[in-house]
Amino acid sequence: MRVLSGVQPSGALHIGNYFGAIRQFVELQHEHDCYYFLADLHALTSVHDADRLRGLVTDLATAFLALGLDPGKAALYRQSDLPEIPELTWYLSTVTSMGLLQRCHSFKDKVAQGVIPSHGLFAYPVLMAADVLIVRANVVPVGRDQKQHLEVTRDIVASFHATYGREVFTMPEPMIGDEVAVVPGLDGQKMSKSYGNTIDLFGPEKEIRQRIMSITTDSTPVEAPKPKEGNALYGLLKLFAPAGERAWVEAAFDEGGTGYGEMKKRLFAYYLATFGEARRRFEELRRHPEEVEAVLRSGAERARAIAVPLMDEVRAIVGIR
């Protein structure tokens, strides 16, 4: 089964990105034919500094490899390295109704947040559809709150097939796995770059420690039991604690006698145990950017081996030579 997903290089990766997506991507590569892309074309709706965008793309590719993506099993490529994607986006846009795009939650949410709505932001779902269709993906991993993205892609496919009376695209299905735990941020809200409450995966160790020690807690005395509901520190400890230490986490909150400061130090130790090897690998790869670039070029070649013949069919169907 061919799996497709992408990550937008819009900022430093944090632990929410890992537990919410990248960990699943690494696991899927062992069972499926996986294609993962770095969505630099999508990022242009929010990143308008060329050097920064190039740096973010390189760091994101480096992070994928450091976290366990095997380029021998999964293709990793830059979205912009497939010129067939923007070409297909235009063909799809000619059969996509305005009403379909106006109903998309993500566009409405961003406008409500005060984002100036560009055409690129409005037409974002059409580019997403091209991303999926260009490699003939069978399934796309999505959370339950992201199903609309793939439903739009399926609507666009149906419209194209109905318009031209030919079926050329693979109709993708959603891959909805087990519910992924919401990763709490430093302030107790969902971890997000937009809230400024993240713990980076590859930031300086001293800075990571400072951020963990700054996690918002209440004034419960050391000797007293600690509340669990809505407690960001408890949520993060549960997420990171190895199986043999989960009982310690529960006892620390239920029985009292352990201060929040000691808990935060324990969380930092868990963080280093979880990501220490990946962080070392990340720094090593950073010293050899040519290795990362070679992986991206190889991944693009694998993806284009599917995209080029598909686009030959699409051009013939729409009448473009």
Q: At what angle do helices 105-112 and 147-164 cross, to 10 degrees?
A: 130
Nearest CA to 5 among 27, 18, 30, 22? 22
Nearest CA to 200 among 8, 4, 5, 15? 15
The pairs formed by 143-152 with CB atoms below 8 angstroms and a separation of 24 or more are: 143/20, 143/176, 143/180, 144/176, 144/179, 147/174, 147/176, 148/104, 148/105, 148/106, 149/106, 149/125, 150/174, 152/100, 152/101, 152/104, 152/125, 152/128
Cα separation, 275 vs 259, in Å, equals 25
Strand order in the sheet with 2-7: 74-78, 33-38, 2-7, 139-141, 173-175
193 is known as an active-site residue: yes
Give me 148's structure tokens.
Answer: 């609309």
Indicate which residue of 190, 228, 238, 265 is catalytic: 190
Nearest CA to 179 among 146, 144, 149, 147? 144
Indicate which residue of 73, 108, 110, 147 is catalytic: 110
Indicate which residue of 73, 108, 193, 264 is catalytic: 193
Who contacts 107 (Cβ-Cβ below 8 Å, separation ≥6)? Answer: 101, 117, 121, 122, 124, 125
Give me 73's structure tokens.
Answer: 């099993």
Place of tokens 């081996």: 305
Give the number of residues written for the chain.
321
Show which residues are catalytic.
Answer: 110, 190, 193
